[in-house]
């Protein structure tokens, strides 16, 4: 009987957590490492909520993977008895007809994913709390919704440990560049050395720090800000259940969930950011732009109090595609990241694929996710969130 593989997963964000969980499901002896506790505030996977939608324009790989990921989110939350996904729908708003909207509608229909094209009259009747100003195209993904982000990360790690996995705190140092086709061990900042048969590095914004030669110019880490606004007392119009998540241009929003207020953010790529030492004080300039959009899109909330604001980060590739590939010189090392602001929803699907690749069950991976030269692909709204 073949021995079960030993795998170390570095990074307990949502991609690393799901990868470790599925490795255990496949029988691998798995150790998950992170410098801090799961869901810590420096992580890209922190914050309270994320959008789960399937519209991706012509990039049908992500449409399929998002739909498959949704099924996995629903399956495992039922198995674990904890609500992680909230089916509130996702409303796409566009100023005019455009290639992305047309391609998304075609892809959703082609994959048999429910989608409703709304006339502006229907949009106004169904969602009167949302202003139609500047909207020319509206469609709704009724099966889509919102994920409880921090709760999800902690839950997946908890269930990984319950299934026999090991979680350890420890900061990993950049792997050595000694010759050889395989990595034999990693070293922690305290001097501990850990050996394994395979390694998965799913470190979010720290991935370029661990592999500066390979990823220093490949993944750009940037500062991003999100804001939570208070809704009127006794007014459920802006809460999950009566309002969907929505996206329009470079802004997106999530209905009030778990008492956190209505979330809104600007999806412009921010300045370079250090996840360890970067100042996480929100900026007045971004706050003012977001508030202006809040008043435009939700007139009843134009004077809503700001309840909370947070600074996180994106780690983006030039074309917005994820990174899922072998290390170019180490056959037993997998590099997973480049989330580009849209990977959270895909995590259980990505984790299952990475786990199968790391154990040899899958040998062919989507070529667009490989470590290769990439060129900018255009506007971010086609991919983010």
Taking the C-alpha atoms of residue 291 and residue 295, their distance in angstroms, rounded to an integer, is 6
Q: How many residues does the chain have?
A: 385
Residue 180 has a pLDDT of 74
Average pLDDT over residues 210-236: 96
Residue from 275, 39, 62 nearest 152 by CA? 39
pTM recorded for the entire structure = 0.96
Q: For residue range 315-358, what is the model confidence (pLDDT) as tens digits?
A: 999 999 999 999 999 999 999 999 999 999 999 999 999 999 99
pLDDT digits (tens, 9 = 90+) for 237-280: 999 989 999 999 999 999 999 999 999 999 988 999 999 999 99
Spell out the domains of the chain, with CATH numbers in brackets: 6-382 (3.30.9.10)
- Bigger pLDDT: 210 or 177? 210
Can you give the pLDDT at residue 236? 96
**According to the model, what pLDDT value does residue 10 have?**
98
Q: How confident is the model at residue 361 (pLDDT cuts 50, 70, 90)?
A: confident
User: Is the CB of residue 254 less than 8 Å from the CB of residue 329?
Assistant: no
Higher pLDDT, 2 or 25: 25
pLDDT in tens, 39-95: 999 999 989 999 999 999 999 999 999 999 999 999 999 999 999 999 999 999 999
**Two structure tokens written together for 297:** 């899109």
């Amino acid at each position: 009987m073949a021995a079960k593989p030993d795998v170390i997963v570095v990074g307990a964000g949502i991609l690393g957590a799901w990868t470790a969980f599925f490795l255990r499901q496949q029988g691998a002896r798995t150790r998950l490492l992170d410098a801090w506790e799961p869901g810590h505030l420096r992580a890209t996977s922190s914050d309270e909520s994320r959008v789960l939608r399937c519209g991706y324009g012509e990039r049908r790989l992500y449409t399929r993977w998002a739909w498959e990921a949704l099924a996995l989110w629903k399956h495992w939350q039922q198995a674990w008895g904890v609500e992680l996904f909230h089916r509130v729908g996702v409303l796409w708003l566009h100023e005019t007809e455009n290639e992305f909207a047309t391609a998304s509608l075609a892809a959703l229909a082609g994959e048999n994913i429910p989608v409703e094209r709304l006339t502006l009259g229907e949009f106004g009747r169904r969602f009167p709390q949302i202003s139609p100003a500047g909207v020319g195209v509206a469609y709704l993904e009724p099966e889509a919704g919102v994920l409880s982000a921090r709760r999800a990360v902690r839950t997946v790690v908890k269930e990984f440990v319950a299934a026999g996995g090991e979680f350890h705190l420890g900061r990993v140092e950049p792997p050595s560049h000694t010759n050889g086709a395989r990595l034999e061990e990693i070293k922690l900042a305290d001097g501990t050395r850990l050996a394994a048969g395979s390694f998965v590095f799913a470190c979010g914004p720290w991935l370029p720090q661990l592999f500066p030669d390979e990823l220093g110019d490949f993944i750009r880490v940037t500062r991003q800000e999100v804001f939570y606004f208070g809704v009127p007392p006794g007014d459920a119009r802006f809460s999950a259940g009566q309002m969907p998540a929505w996206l329009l241009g470079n802004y997106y929003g999530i209905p009030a969930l778990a008492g956190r207020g209505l979330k809104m953010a600007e999806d412009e790529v921010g300045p370079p950011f250090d996840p360890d030492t970067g100042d996480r004080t929100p900026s007045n300039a971004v706050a003012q732009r977001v508030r202006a959009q809040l008043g435009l899109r939700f007139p009843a909330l134009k004077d809503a109090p700001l309840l909370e604001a947070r600074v996180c980060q994106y780690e983006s590739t030039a074309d917005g595609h994820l990174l899922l590939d072998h290390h170019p010189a180490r056959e037993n090392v997998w590099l997973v990241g480049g989330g580009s602001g849209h990977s959270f929803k895909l995590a259980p699907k990505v984790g299952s694929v990475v786990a199968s690749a790391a154990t040899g069950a899958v040998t062919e991976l989507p070529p667009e996710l490989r470590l290769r030269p990439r060129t900018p692909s255009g506007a971010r709204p086609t991919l983010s969130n």
